[in-house]
Structure 1
Amino acid sequence: MAHLFEKKDRHVIPNWRSFDNTAKLGELNGSKGIELVSTFKPDISDLLDDWTEIDNQTIGVAGDILGVALVSNQKSDPKIIEIAKFVLQNENVSPKALSSAAKEILKPSQDKLINLDFNTIELFQDPTSLIIIHKKINELKNRLKNNPKNSINWIEIGRYYAIIGQSEKAERAIKNALFLSPENRFILRNMARFFVHLGDGGISFAHDILRKSQLVNSDPWLLSTEISLATLRGRNSRFVKQGLQVIESDSFHPFNVTELASALATVELKNDSLKKSRKLFEKSLRKPNDNSLAQAEWASQEENNLFSLDSSKSNLANSFEAKARHYAEKENWKEAIEYSKKWFLDLPFSKGSILFGNNIALNKLKNHDVAIEIGKLGLLSHPHDPHLLNNIIYSLCLNDKIEEAELLFQRVDKSDLTSKSIHNICLLATQGLLNYRKGNPENARALYLEAMELAKSTGHKSYISKALVNMTREELLLGQQDMSDVIPKLKDILKKTDDPDLEEDIKEVIELYNKKS
């Protein structure tokens, strides 16, 4: 049985990117900075004027110009395009990196983005991806030999370890960075993002450190993180009043308070203060980053009376999550999946994009090949995640890939198979499906009934219905049992449910029953 994708509250937890990309996005600017690094456009008119002279039209000069054009996002300038074409016309004598830069400039793109560390899905489908990531880790470790107190290198190592699912090594590296630079914005925000991933204990650890930091009193980027962690922890932040004063002072550039306004807006939304929440979200959208834009998109879907937002029209760098959420809300499932993949490539440490895309492929498109493909992407950083494993195994079973499903089931942590949790309910039912497809109906029935009993005892009624639907489908396909007494029960569930996915599944089972009758 597929693990239901439940809409959860979203919080303004910092996105974790490389130091270079964070800098390019402008999130390392001074709190009172005027413009963003990523939007700064240096004057290259002298270089372009020089290019008009035939003697200066060389690969070397072209390289200088294209390098500046890419960093400062001036790719659309007609002269820049002309120079890029010149490079490709002389590709036989151009350095490979320069040819790649020229292709990047000439490539049509719907999205602004900061260069991704990983730019193709295929990389994560190739076992050599681990080799590539380990090579990056070793390069950073070699740099530490010369400068062991470089906290940025330590946090970068932690990020790569997190991407390949080695949480203990990631935690050690991040704690080293924190020890070396306990009052560094980049370190503190990424430390918080990592420890949120570890659950309640990690959230408490990160919040306790952050709320005691001296920087929280003066840095709106850290104020927003502290407020979000407090909310996630179920507490009222003592910095809310201070955060509101920062917003109202108008002494900071709108970009530098976008996440703070968004975090405060989320607090007000949680408190049902829609007017205050709307006002703060509007301030967060004056100069948003991808995180605050995604938060606004989430909020607009949670509360229809809050405001309307069309993220698809945004040209904001790396706004993949917001667009994925927007297209899903509009039931444009194909676009939603494409943006969930871009979201993953931008932030491969997080499983949110994977669960989002997997749910659409599995429940909306009923395309189990795509559901498997997307789900497997998340196994690199979360190799034993019960939600991911369950849904991949479920889709493999429905595609009759039984051997692969059995191998993957061996990854499931035994504690998830004995707990009184939603994970165990789903895994028991999926194990039942696996037994049906293996030709062991007696074991399959027992597992489904156990799953339904556990769902009943723990109050998860929707999972009882889901398990019954899946079990009925398998019995009808097997053709050994009279299911006429179950169909009225399914019709009764159909009348009462407000879950469109469950509704569609029941209709399919009833249609199958009618064909078999």
Structure 2
Amino acid sequence: MLADLFSIAVVEGRNSHLAALAAEVVKLEDKMPRALQDLAMRVSGLEAKRNEVELVDAGDVQVINPYISNLKSRLSSSPSNGFLWNDLSYAYNLIGEKEKSERAMLAALKVSGSHRLIARGASRLFMHHHDPERALSVLKRAQSFSVDPWLLSAHIAVSQASGQESVFIAAARRALQRLGTGHLHSSELGMALATQELRGGKMKRAKIIARESGVDATENALAQAVWLSPRLRTDVVTKEAIAATAGAFEAKCWGAFYEGDWGAAVENAVLWLNEEPYSVVPALQGSFVAATFMHDYVRSLKIAEFGLGRNPDSDSLRNNYVVALAMSGDLARAEGEFIKMSGSKADPREHAVWMATSGLLKYRRNEVEHGRALYDAARIEFEKVNDRTAQLTLTLYQSMEEARAGNVERSKEMISSLYRKLGLRDEKVAINDALEREVLRRRSTD
């Protein structure tokens, strides 16, 4: 309630109450969202606290170019070293040299005889370049593919990510039966098969495989376990197991998200992004959580901008960037970035997100009726697919814009109407708290 009162006082310029409310927010320290803490401290004439993990610009050409030169020099005397070619591919990828990155990776595959580690790296590279067929092809050509758990798990994961079903599911099941679960080297294969069973509606079988495969798991397997947990409605791995694993930033990011620990979710998203700078997922998750749950638009901007440097074609990431720009008051830049988005209707959900963001920009231009119509159209699409989280997120942003436009009663009624539709009984709960509860509800266990 205090967060809502302070936010409304800022939006409506109620200077007579602002200082007192700011002082109360400051007293609560980390119990309040970081962005509100920073704003309250500025209102109180204090310096905002900053103690956050920083993004590392691994794609800085002044750093990468000497590294590339060193790799080339070493390759001139060791041209058959596949791991040097693999490193060169990674370096080129960091600075956006797609063709050079692919050529170096193909050389790595050739001289190494498609070694397992290099084949997996090549698969990730081609997935990043939106070429799932090549990603699957390099795995199939790798040494001992049909019996190798690491390669089979990668093939299943790539197939699932591209909306297909791997034709090697039977071989993967035989491999897991032969190897057994509960071992590090079979953990990723077990999680991939558990995901496959879940997709086939075999919840009980999926839970058994996932739990057994989480006993001794790799970082990738832990991340998949955390993703599976809310969908299987059970804890696949313990929090202690995740916390005890060095790295595992992806797992820690999702684990914190499903626990409602937004600060930890963002910090681990940044660490994950530093480790995998060309992956769009940590940038998407970090920028979304920072803006939506923490109202930290500066942090969201930094993460989204970093991610766009390596994934300029991602409309979803650019959408997060536009929202953060608009919410931080830079409307001109927000509109300039928005026109770069396609707004394609091919994916109804993505189009609904585009309409909602368009509506946000209209509100910021004081075109309230137009903005309202766009939000309403987006809401209908989210209702069609029964996406409760999206409906709550949309209402969070729209209610703030209605309050900002002076329509406080309309803002309250909008929230109450949604609560009634979703069967949420306590209408006194703030919309951001309701959104948090929805995330936690998805995390509920048996």
- TM-score normalized with structure 1 length: 0.62
| Change beyond 3 A, Cα 1:240–1:425 | closer
Aligned to 1:399: 328
In structure 2, distance between residues paired with 1:429 and 1:234: 26
Question: Number of aligned pairs?
Answer: 377
Which of 184, 195, 199 is equivalent to 1:255?
Answer: 184
Matching residue within 50, 58, 64 for 1:133: 64
- Pair 1:504–1:241, CA change in 2 (3 A): same
Question: 1:149/1:419 Cα in 2 relative to 1: closer, same or farther (>3 Å)?
Answer: farther
**AA aligned opposite 1:230:** S
Q: Distance in 1 between the 2:395 and 2:230 partners?
A: 31
- Which among 97, 105, 123 is matched to residue 56 of structure 2? 123
TM-superposed CA distance for 1:407, in Å, is: 5.2
What corresponds to 1:228 in structure 2?
157
Deviation at 1:257, TM superposition (A): 1.8
Aligned CA distance change for structure 1 residues 273 and 257 (closer, same or farther; 3 Å): same
Q: Which runs of 5+ in 1 are unaligned?
A: 1-119, 509-517
- Given candidates 224, 244, 265, the residue that maps to 1:295 is 224
Give the whole-Å Cα distance in 2 for the aligned partners of 1:251 and 1:312.
Answer: 20
Separation in 1, partners of 2:112, 2:324 = 45
Asked which structure has the greater RCO (Cα within 8 Å, sep 6+), the reply is 1
Could you say which residue in structure 1 is the equivalent of 2:270?
Answer: 341
> Which residue identity lines up with residue 375 of structure 1 in the other structure?
A
> Partner of 1:441: helix, strand, or coil?
coil
Alignment of 1:427-466 (within 5 A): 427-437=354-364, 440-442=365-367, 445-446=369-370, 449=373, 452-453=376-377
Choose the corresponding residue for 1:193, options 124, 142, 146.
124
Distance 1:488 1:337 in 2: 32
2:181 and 2:209 in contact (8 A); partners too? no
> Structure 1: which amino acid aligns with 2:98?
S
* 1:184 is aligned to 2:115: yes
1:330 CA drift (Å) = 1.8
Cα deviation, 1:8-47, whole Å, max 9, x if unaligned, reads xxxxxxxxxxxxxxxxxxxxxxxxxxxxxxxxxxxxxxxx
Tell me if 1:151 matches 2:151: no
**Which structure is larger by alpha-carbon Rg, 1 or 2?**
1
Q: Percent identity?
A: 25
Structure 1, 418-427 or 278-287: larger mean CA deviation:
418-427
SS in 1 for 2:238: coil
User: Are the counterparts in 2 of residues 354 and 375 from structure 1 also a CA contact under 8 Å?
Assistant: yes
Shift of 1:368: 1.8
Following superposition, the deviation at residue 212 of structure 1 comes to: 4.8
| Inter-CA distance 491–174: structure 2 relative to 1 (3 Å threshold) | same
Residue 477 (structure 1) aligns with: 404
Kindly provide the CA deviation profile for residues 102-151 of structure 1, in whole angstroms up to 9, marking residues without a partner as x: xxxxxxxxxxxxxxxxxx72533x9x833212332332233333444443
Match of 1:493 among 418, 424, 436: 418
List aligned pairs for 1:270-309, cutoff 5 A: 270-305=199-234, 307=236, 309=238
How far residue 253 of structure 1 moved from its aligned partner, in angstroms, is 9.5
Helix, strand or coil at the partner of 1:123: coil
Q: Secondary structure at the match of 1:133?
A: helix
What amino acid is the match of 2:373? L
Letter in 1 for 2:66: K
Q: Counterparts of 1:263 and 1:288 in 2: how far apart (Å)?
A: 12
What SS class does the counterpart of residue 60 from structure 2 fall into?
Answer: helix
Asked if structure 2 preserves the Cα contact closer than 8 Å seen for 1:261 and 1:281, the reply is: yes
Moved more, 287-296 or 148-157: 148-157
Q: Which residue of 2 aligns with 1:174?
A: 105
Alpha-carbon offset, residue 291 of structure 1? 0.8
Give RMSD over aligned pairs. 3.8
Structure 1, residues 271-319: CA drift from partner, whole Å, max 9, x if none? Answer: 2334433332244233311111121222222212464522466422322
Q: What one-letter code is carried by the residue in structure 2 that aligns with 1:491?
A: S
Higher normalized helix content (fraction of residues): 2
